[in-house]
Amino acid sequence: MSPEALSPSTWMSRHLSRRSLLRTGSAAAVGLGLGTAASGCGFDSGGSASQKTGDEPIEMKIDGDLVYFNWADFVDPAVFAGFEKEYDVKVVQSNFDSMEGMVAKLNAGNKYDIIFPTAKWAERLVQGNRLRRIDHSQLRNADAVFGHYDYFADPWYDQGSRHTVPFTMYKTGIGWRKDKIGDDLSGSWDDLWLSRAKGRVFVLDDRDEVLGMAALKRGLDVSTSDSDDLSEITSTLRSLRPHLRGFSSNSYNNLLTGNAAMTQAWSGDMAAMLNEAKDPSKFGFEIAKEGAPLNSDCYAIPSNAPHPGTAMLFIDYLLRPENVRKNIEYIGYPMPVKGSEDTYSALVEPFPSCVVSADELKDDLYFHNGDKQAERARDAAWTRVKAS
């Protein structure tokens, strides 16, 4: 099913439930039992059973229906239907609206066969002994990922990708209305301070993204928790406040309706917007020359998954070239699978900056976990920014 075949309400529902409800701040995680280091924070102990079973090989076979836990509407329904028909199983779907919400369900003892954490949350799961090992040699199309995207062969969040397979990628930039403020932007985060957009600018309602944007503007690390750095970041963001209409992660809809003349935005949401805009030429999307935060989602199998064999088959099925293409066209996010690049490039032809290249992944502009003290310092800075 192509994006063009979707109704505006379907596209809006997907992207509101996908990224606009994502919160990367750690305040909720603190309430879920932070440890002394964020690498294991936010998770109750997996216990000796999960630690014993975590490295046992999973036989790729049907061992029950698939219990699936992901962002809402983030796999093409036709792909689900094809999997169910081919393997004579049902896909039992549940959805979360934030990483913290996902953690809460896991800590409550809910059992899922496959989940889709972002990179920093994958690291927390791995170090909390909450994921099963995934044997890439069993996945028929794994080489299309790990043989061509070296970054994911040994990512910082999961050594050797022992417990994860990358699902999607995205980056953060600036979307704007050319018909409102013109087309002569500088290609810098400074553009958010443009006088002609004053009062019609939004930034994402997301701690890491906003602090990271100001950090990049000042030449600092996107995940810094240094007190002097955070003071400089909050000062920079206070100077932006007179230009802001507000904090909102609904950048897709804000631009379409004209509520925003300019907004900080995720690349996937901009790709989605193209499919609803009556005149895409009125819109622009740029990646700032100071750098753009990057992120990715992963396939992962929880340590207490009741049907891990079915989960392995599902990952393998989604890595088939035809299913990768279907999902890219359906969700508007690129996937690190060799041979899919042209599909995504065609989808975002008006916004080529949405493309995430293998070279960009090496820039290490991911948001990283800090220890308990670091996360609290970033929370405090975020609170000051929103209260200023």
Closest to 97 measured CA to CA, from 24, 17, 208, 30:
17
Residues in the chain: 388
Q: What pLDDT shows up at residue 9?
A: 39
Question: DSSP of 107-146, one letter per residue?
Answer: HTT---SBB--BHHHHHHHHHTT-B----GGG-TTTHHHH
Pair of tokens at residue 233: 């970041």
CA distance 208 to 177: 25
What confidence tens digit (pLDDT) does each residue in 262-300 have?
999 999 889 888 878 889 899 999 999 999 999 999 999
Domains located in the chain, CATH noted: 14-169+296-351 (3.40.190.10), 171-293+367-387 (3.40.190.10)
Residue for token pair 């802001």: 244
Q: What pLDDT shows up at residue 97?
A: 82
DSSP letter at 348 equals T
Q: What's the Cα-to-Cα distance from 95 to each of 71, 72, 74, 85, 120, rounded to whole Å?
A: 5, 5, 10, 22, 19
The residues pairing with 66 across neighbouring beta strands, listed in sequence order, are 91
Let me know: does 378 contact 211? Beta carbons within 8 Å.
yes
What confidence tens digit (pLDDT) does each residue in 211-251 have?
999 999 999 999 999 999 999 999 999 999 999 999 998 88
Pair of tokens at residue 165: 């397979």
Pair of tokens at residue 241: 């406040």
Let me know: does 211 contact 312? Beta carbons within 8 Å.
no
Q: Which amino acid is at 171?
A: K
CA distance 311 to 329: 23
Which residues of the chain have a pLDDT value below 50? Answer: 1-41, 45-52
CA distance 136 to 180: 49
Collapse the DSSP code of 339 into the 3-class scheme (helix H, G, I; strand E, B; otherwise coil) and give the result.
Answer: coil
Q: What pLDDT shows up at residue 55?
A: 75
Let me know: does 223 contact 217? Beta carbons within 8 Å.
no
Q: What's the Cα-to-Cα distance from 127 to each of 38, 45, 124, rounded to whole Å?
A: 9, 10, 5
Pair of tokens at residue 29: 């995680």
Q: What pLDDT shows up at residue 54?
A: 58
Q: What's the Cα-to-Cα distance from 183 to each of 177, 208, 263, 282, rounded to whole Å?
A: 8, 28, 14, 9
Q: What pLDDT shows up at residue 88?
A: 98
